Amino acid sequence: MKKIMTILWLTIVCATTLNAQSKFGESPKLVVGIVVDQMRWDYLSRYYDEFTEDGFRRMIDNGYSCNNCLINYVPTVTSIGHTSVYTGASPAFHGICGNNFYIDGRKTYCTADNSVQPVGSDNKKKGCMSPRNLLSTTIGDQLRLHTDFKSKVIGVSYKDRAAILPAGHAATAAYWLDTDNLCFISSTYYMTELPDWAKKVNQQLARNKELKKVGSKVGLYPLCGTITTDMAIAALKGEQLGKNKTTDMLCVSYSQTDVIGHEYGTRGTHTDEAYMQLDKDIARLLKALDSQVGEGNYVVFLTADHGASHNYKFMQDHKIPAGKWPDPDMKDGAEDYVKQKLGNSKNVIAAELDYRYYLDRNSISEQNLDYEKVKQTIIEYLRKAPNVCFVLDYEHASETSVPSIIRDRALMGYHYRRSGDILVVPSPNHYTFGSWSSPVGTTHGEWNPYDAHIPLLFYGWRIPQGATSREVHIVDIAPTICQLLHIQQPNACVGEAIVEITK
């Protein structure tokens, strides 16, 4: 009996070893990354019973869910989230420090590039875009390098930054929506002319009567997600993704959920409708993948770039502490306080972006002011402000007496040439509501769980069925996918492969 058990054990070991050996060097035909802009983690459970079996539930029930995936930096905004997913790095390393940020004193939009021209329309405001402000590589870049640029990598989204930054520097193409002309465009960074399949999509958009009714406010409606799905499927078929000898990659971002959230909040008919339609669109995308690539031949991951807070008035109505954080008044108040204390005549703050204060070093120098004294005077003022938990001097954050979770996330989000000088951490559920959010809408940007806790689903090729509540991070997604593909991680990656997926 003992001999039989020994033989059985050796057989199992050998089989396992052979299975492991067979996995090495193998890879799926296609990787599809899906990022849902502003999707809170708890939306998976909130809408679970309403989701169809072919959309979100197909991935939840038959794939693997990381139920405690957190963003490990601040601020939590769109461009940073998309970049961190695909680079496995934070702003400290990849350099995308916001949708807008300053580079050496010059205000910069994250994907702006005046050295390129639009392709697909003549709209320079929408089309002069590229990934040149991105300092690190992405999954797609590493895949292209690994295969001697034989793999195809394509990004598709409503937002330019959500198509460009995920796809990376060496991408085959990126396509985003010109909302002024209601067509998908690209830039000369990638091509000189749209491919025929993309032109056909634009011709269909031009004939879409519903789209014409919506007009430039297309982002406010679930229809935008459907258009994005149409474009993604057209790219899948037009470029024959998943039918090449090497693994291809398709990066899809759904942005309508963010625009709807800013306008209508985390509760209500519009948000509900957006996720019901998104569920149908994801089901349609998965069906197209089955048909084009074959079920079991592709791997999909789905996550978010950030979450969202409940509207502060909604919270107040239910006796939960919340409020609108008065940052415009804070900036003006800080300027007056500095003038009162130091006697300067000109302003010394260049901007406040995402709770970060950028000091105007030229102005400070011209007025013969001491930079450190100016900075400490502003910090002194901000620390006295209502609904402020912490104020960090970025350059000395590691020495500051604040909880490690705040300090670590601040440092992970800090790039010394791009992130400003001072970070303010408001009280929970206290927010800056700018022009992008309505009085009943929501916003995001902070370290708290409502902004930092995001969904993370894996589905398809070699993905086990199950779930974990172990803490993982947004920067762990890229090394996990790279491990599955047996390729090197992006060159600034600080995340770790999720072993439940890769073992």
| Cross-strand partners of 466 | 64
Rounded Cα distance between 37 and 81, Å, is 9
Residue 35: strand, helix, or coil: strand
Catalytic option among 6, 11, 76, 78: 78
Instruction: Please confirm, yes or no, whether 78 is among the known catalytic residues.
Output: yes
Alpha helices in 296-388 (DSSP H): 312-317, 327-342, 361-366, 371-383
User: Exposed, middle or buried, 435 (CB in 10 Å: 0-12/13-18/19+)?
Assistant: exposed
For every residue of 185-233, DSSP letters joined together read EEETTT-SS--HHHHHHHHHHHT-HHHHHHGGGGGGSTHHHHHHHHHHH
430 phi and psi, to 5 degrees?
-115, 125
Whole-Å CA distances, 129 to 8, 112, 417, 422: 60, 5, 21, 29
Alpha helices in 74-195 (DSSP H): 78-87, 91-94, 124-127, 139-146, 160-167
Nearest to 395 by CA among 411, 384, 379: 411
Three-point CA angle 434, 134, 29, nearest 5°: 110
Rounded Cα distance between 85 and 355, Å, is 22
- The helix (run of H) or strand (run of E) holding residue 353 is strand 349-353
What radius of gyration do the chain's Cα atoms show? 24
- Which residue numbers are catalytic? 78
